[in-house]
């Protein structure tokens, strides 16, 4: 499937993924390849294009998208989301941050689903001090139904 560049979409916050972060253009680029230009000012055909996203359009061979505050792209090689903030590209920490998946309020964090107060955490519905836990109001005889968010008590 061919990829085509739509100039109006270049200014969107989320950009199509890049193959890698390079300071030197690769030899024999293929139309549709995208790279995050590292190093300032860049070298060769990328001279003066540091921090920009280089796109092989098949004719130039390179077109460039200058970054703007908050712009994000996925780096296929590293498997990381890159975010442009304060004049620099850096790994986006949202998934591991305070409210991210692994952060204190995220899924695995202290207050997250698996955290101390989360769904499976110590004080969560199925945790030791939760409704069905050993120290909870119904003790080990109850079963927590997560789909309906209720207790099933056999009696």
Instruction: From first to last of the 155 residues of the chain, give the pLDDT tens digit.
Output: 565 555 545 455 678 899 999 999 998 899 999 999 997 777 888 999 999 999 998 888 899 999 998 899 999 999 999 999 999 999 987 655 555 555 555 555 555 555 555 555 555 655 655 655 555 555 556 677 777 667 676 65
Q: Which residues pair with 22 in a beta bridge?
A: 37
Q: Are the CB atoms for 142 and 132 separated by under 8 Å?
A: yes
Do the domain assignments include residue 145? no
Neighbours of 54 (CB within 10 A): 24
My answer on whether 86 and 119 are in the same domain is: no
My answer on whether 24 and 71 are in the same domain is: yes
Do the domain assignments include residue 148? no
* 104 to 112, 115, 130: CA distances (angstroms): 7, 8, 19
My answer on whether 104 and 85 are in the same domain is: no
Residue with tokens 């769904």: 119
Do the domain assignments include residue 154? no
Q: Per the structure, how many domains does the chain have?
A: 2
| Closest of 26, 38, 47 to residue 78, by C-alpha | 38
My answer on whether 48 and 123 are in the same domain is: no
My answer on whether 60 and 85 are in the same domain is: yes
For residue 122, the enclosing domain spans 100-139
pTM over 0.75: no
Residue with tokens 């990829």: 3
My answer on whether 80 and 45 are in the same domain is: yes
């Amino acid at each position: 499937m061919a990829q085509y560049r739509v100039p109006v979409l270049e200014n969107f916050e989320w950009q199509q993924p890049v193959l890698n972060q390079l300071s030197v253009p690769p030899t024999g680029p293929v139309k549709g390849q995208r790279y995050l230009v590292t190093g300032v000012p860049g070298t060769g055909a990328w001279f003066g294009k540091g921090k920009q996203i280089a796109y092989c359009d098949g004719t130039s061979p390179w077109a460039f998208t200058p970054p703007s505050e908050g712009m994000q792209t996925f780096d296929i090689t590293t498997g990381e989301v890159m975010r442009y903030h304060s004049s620099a590209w850096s790994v986006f920490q949202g998934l591991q941050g305070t409210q991210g998946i692994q952060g204190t309020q995220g899924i695995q964090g202290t207050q997250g689903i698996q955290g101390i107060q989360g769904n499976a955490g110590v004080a969560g519905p199925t945790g030791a001090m939760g409704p069905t836990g050993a120290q909870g109001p119904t003790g080990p005889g109850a079963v927590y139904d997560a789909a309906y968010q209720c207790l099933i008590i056999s009696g």
